[in-house]
């Protein structure tokens, strides 16, 4: 199987990530593989005193940190140099994929009562939560956790010790991770996540686990793993408390008839009076709600964005990420694709076409990580390797119509 896709764009440290959940699995680095300077041991002893002074128990310290080795690979990953550069339409296509739409519908079917309860308790509509869940962990696929997550203590210890910037932040997150173990919510071995320490169904950083997460399934502990109730309900609470999500409002709409680059917030009624209409021809259902105009690329689709779009953006400050999430949520609930295409774009491949790409690449000796129709880092790398070998330019790792056509022709 191919791995889950993470946010993938340039992120700042907000609630749970620098990058996302789908960094390739890296075994905790030992000194025999990448020698950690002796300075790490000196730092660890100083940090031990700090942790114990902050109330961390000696037992927790011994279990989590006494023999930990820093994962030196994190320093390469935090360089903010994405492995693959994507056009906006590619970014959207890869995240709003057939695989995620189909499996989002299945996840909703299996968890209908849970989503209804969350909507009643928090007012966060199910589409947004489903999309976050799908993008962050492939709807909690246990093989993503097993194959593409790694222990967070070696990563956080490396960053707290020697990150080139924001070291106090990483120390704080390492202390938060220790507090989680102290509370008995998880063992160090269970705490597996991205290189930056984001964990579980919706990729919480330790601070969010401690301060926003809560026990929604009534099992006596707070956990982003296993039963998705805690993770999804706590993520809804995050959107409301930190994102100022407004129950009952839609995130916004694709629109037609907009002119100029106006970005000031106006009511939908005012936008309609100025000749701006929904692209699907339907009326604005809440004309007194306010929204801002946004055109990601000249000649592409234009949107009116309400407060709930910006609530999603607090989860990851990329505008493209937020657009992918809200659009995926709409598609899972039955909406169609954008009416206006992005300049130079091509349609997204269907699930069957993606599986054909993966199968043909696998038969040609390229490792896609599986043929399930899900495009993750393994498939992107395989596509990029094929493009380079076949002389396709750009070699951008995007599994699209041109790659499929060339695969059908043979090398």
From 263, 297, 331, the end of a domain falls on 297
**pLDDT top residue among 26 and 371:** 371
pLDDT at 29 over 70: no
Mean predicted confidence (pLDDT) in 79-105: 84
Query: What does the pLDDT read at residue 269?
Result: 97
Q: Of 4-8, 144-148, 357-361, which one has max mean pLDDT?
A: 357-361
Look at residue 269 and tell me if it is in a domain: yes
Residues paired with residue 199 on neighbouring β-strands, in sequence order: 193, 204
Look at residue 277 and tell me if it is in a domain: yes
Query: What does the pLDDT read at residue 76?
Result: 82
Query: What does the pLDDT read at residue 6?
Result: 43
Domain count for the chain? 2
Cα within 13 Å of Cα(38), Cβ side: 0
Query: What does the pLDDT read at residue 169?
Result: 96
From 297, 316, 332, the end of a domain falls on 297
**Percent of the chain with pLDDT strictly greater than 70:** 88
Query: What does the pLDDT read at residue 411?
Result: 66
Look at residue 16 and tell me if it is in a domain: no
pLDDT at 341 over 70: yes
User: Tokens in use for 258?
Assistant: 């907009």
Query: What does the pLDDT read at residue 145?
Result: 79
Look at residue 384 and tell me if it is in a domain: yes
Model confidence over 279-334: pLDDT tens digits?
999 999 999 999 999 999 999 999 999 999 999 999 999 999 999 999 999 999 99
Look at residue 394 and tell me if it is in a domain: yes
Q: DSSP letters along 19-53, please?
A: S-TTPPP-PPP-TTTSPPPTHHHHHHHHHHHHHHH
Look at residue 261 and tell me if it is in a domain: yes
pLDDT at 18 over 50: no
Lowest-confidence region among 10-19, 106-115, 158-167, 319-328: 10-19
pLDDT at 75 over 90: no
**pLDDT top residue among 186 and 15:** 186
Peptide bond into 394 cis (omega under 30): yes
**pLDDT top residue among 93 and 77:** 93
Model confidence over 40-62: pLDDT tens digits?
999 999 999 999 999 999 999 99
Look at residue 382 and tell me if it is in a domain: yes
Query: What does the pLDDT read at residue 36?
Result: 56
Query: What does the pLDDT read at residue 37?
Result: 67
pLDDT at 2 over 70: no
**pLDDT top residue among 283 and 5:** 283
**Whole-number Cα distances in Å, 339 to 278, 335, 363:** 10, 11, 36
pTM: 0.89
Question: Binning pLDDT at 50, 70 and 90, where does residue 86 land?
Answer: confident
pLDDT at 9 over 80: no
Measured CA to CA, the distance from residue 32 to residue 37 in angstroms comes to 12
Measured CA to CA, the distance from residue 261 to residue 53 in angstroms comes to 54
Task: Give the 3-state secondary structure percentages of the chain, helix then strand then coil, rounded to 5.
Answer: 45, 5, 50
Give, for 179, the enclosing helix (H) or strand (E): helix 167-182
Using DSSP's 3-state secondary structure scheme, residue 294 falls into: strand
Look at residue 88 and tell me if it is in a domain: no
**pLDDT top residue among 57 and 18:** 57
pLDDT at 190 over 90: yes
Q: DSSP letters along 319-379, please?
A: HHHHHHHHHHHHHHTT----SSPPTT--PPPPHHHHHHHHHHHHHTT---S-SSS---HHH
Query: What does the pLDDT read at residue 95?
Result: 95
Mean predicted confidence (pLDDT) in 140-152: 86
Which residue segment(s) compose the domain that 275 sits in? 252-297
């Amino acid at each position: 199987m191919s791995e889950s896709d993470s946010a993938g764009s340039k992120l700042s440290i907000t609630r749970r990530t620098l990058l996302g959940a789908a960094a390739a699995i890296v075994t905790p680095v030992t000194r025999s593989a990448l020698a950690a300077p002796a300075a790490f041991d000196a730092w660890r002893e100083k940090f031990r005193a700090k942790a114990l002074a902050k109330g961390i128990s000696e037992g927790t310290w011994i279990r989590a940190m006494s023999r930990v080795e820093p994962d030196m690979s994190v320093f390469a990953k935090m360089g903010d140099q994405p492995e693959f550069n994507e056009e906006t339409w590619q970014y959207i296509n890869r995240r709003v994929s057939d695989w995620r739409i189909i499996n989002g519908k299945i996840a909703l079917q299996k968890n209908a009562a849970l989503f209804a309860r969350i909507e009643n308790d928090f007012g966060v509509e199910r589409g947004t939560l489903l999309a976050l869940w799908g993008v962050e962990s492939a709807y909690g696929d246990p093989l993503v956790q097993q194959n593409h997550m790694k222990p967070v203590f070696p990563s956080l210890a490396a960053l707290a010790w020697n990150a080139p910037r924001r070291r106090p932040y990483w120390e704080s997150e390492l202390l938060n991770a220790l507090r989680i173990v102290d509370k008995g919510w998880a063992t160090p071995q269970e705490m597996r996540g991205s290189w930056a320490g984001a964990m579980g169904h919706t990729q919480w950083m330790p601070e969010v686990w401690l301060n926003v997460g809560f026990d929604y399934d009534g099992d006596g502990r707070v956990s982003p793993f296993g039963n998705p109730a805690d993770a999804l309900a706590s993520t809804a609470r995050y959107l409301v408390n930190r994102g100022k999500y407004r129950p009952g409002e839609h995130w916004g709409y694709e629109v037609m008839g907009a002119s100029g680059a106006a970005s000031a917030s106006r009511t939908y009624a005012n936008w309609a009076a100025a000749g701006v209409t929904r692209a699907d021809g339907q009326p604005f259902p809440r004309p007194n709600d306010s929204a801002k105009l946004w055109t990601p690329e000249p000649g592409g689709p234009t949107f009116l964005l309400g407060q709930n779009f910006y609530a999603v953006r607090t989860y990851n400050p990329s505008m493209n990420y937020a657009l992918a999430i809200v659009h995926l949520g709409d598609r899972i609930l039955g909406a169609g694709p954008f009416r206006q295409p992005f300049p130079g774009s091509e349609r997204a491949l269907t699930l069957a076409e993606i599986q054909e790409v993966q199968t043909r690449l696998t038969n040609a000796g390229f490792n896609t990580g599986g043929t399930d129709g899900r495009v993750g880092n393994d498939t992107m790398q395989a596509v990029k390797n094929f493009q380079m070998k076949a002389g396709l330019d750009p070699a951008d790792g995007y599994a699209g119509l041109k790659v499929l056509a060339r695969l059908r022709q043979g090398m």
